[in-house]
Amino acid sequence: MEENQEPVIRHTQVDLREPVLVAAFRGWNDAGDAASFAAMHLSRTWSATKVASLDPEEFYDFQAVRPQVELVDGITRNITWPSNELWAAQLADAPNDALVLVGTEPNVRWRTFSRLIVDVAMEYDVKLVITMGALLADVPHSRPVHVTGTAVDKELVERLDLERSRYEGPTGIVGVLHDAFTAAGVDSASLWAAVPHYLAVTPNPKAALALVHKATQLVGAPAAIDDLERASSVYEERVSEMVSSDEDVQAYVKLLEERADERAAEEHIDPSTLPSGDALAAELERFLRDGNEGRGH
């Protein structure tokens, strides 16, 4: 970190009423950029004001997460560094205000990073933290997006109609942040959207819209979604066109649709029961290989 540079950079001060913190991070937790896209949408539609950001110097390997350079007016070069920004929203029609954290998963010093986020949240008297994430899953693009809400605390599970988290395995900064808030005595819940693993389309507005719906329910504040709904419709139409142009992929999506319809009566999908992206890719390869052999290709 540069000499005399504070790790938390203050931009302005906003008075908030026991805000709910909504957080999303680009990277491992953000399939299809759905979670970060949803968080940015909330920040924009709630007319939020940037109140703080974290200096990136101590938290990133810039060879792994490289800064971006762009030309301004075709002449001036501007460098954009990995960012973690907190935006404050005063929500007149809601019981609480909101803080929105949109960031990039750090490479190092996760505990220090999480502690700084917790410290800022405590300054604003945050009472509830909601993180958003998206994971690759064997789900079709043509069906409603499954969003699972989980929490560890039993009382919070019952109060917000969530599921008890039973996940075991690798975690991202979202998991570490939840642990830090639990240690600080702050309730936290996690929302996960299932994103079709066979698509490389980013951002995924349909998954982002589903996360926005669930997050606004938990926060108790509405958010304008007209543009997200239009983007979701265009997204589904274009993906359907791409799928229909490939006979093998079309057959695979049909199989996923049949599976989705069979479990449509289920209200939630637990992220811990969904296979990894590598496993899903292997399943797709097997399906295409077996299909080609069956047709004598």
Residue 47's CATH number: 3.40.50.10900
Whether the per-residue pLDDT at 129 is higher than 50: the answer is: yes
Whether the per-residue pLDDT at 169 is higher than 90: the answer is: no
Residue 170: domain span: 8-294
What number is the average pLDDT over the span 232-237? 92
Q: Is residue 2 part of a domain?
A: no
What number is the average pLDDT over the span 117-138? 95
Q: Is residue 210 part of a domain?
A: yes
List CB contacts of 102: < 8 A, sequence separation 6 or more: 23, 24, 36, 39, 40, 43, 83, 84, 85, 87
Per-residue three-class SS string for 2-70: CCCCCCEEECCCCCCCCCEEEEEEECCCEHHHHHHHHHHHHHHHCCCEEEEEECCCCCCCCCCCCCEEE
Q: Is residue 121 part of a domain?
A: yes
Q: Is residue 254 part of a domain?
A: yes
pLDDT band at 289 (very low <50, low <70, confident <90, very high): low
Q: Is residue 1 part of a domain?
A: no
The pLDDT of residue 266 is 57
How many domains does one find in the chain? 1
Q: Is residue 72 part of a domain?
A: yes
The pLDDT of residue 272 is 41
Q: Is residue 3 part of a domain?
A: no
Choice among 115-129, 168-182, 258-272 with the minimum mean pLDDT? 258-272
Q: Is residue 76 part of a domain?
A: yes
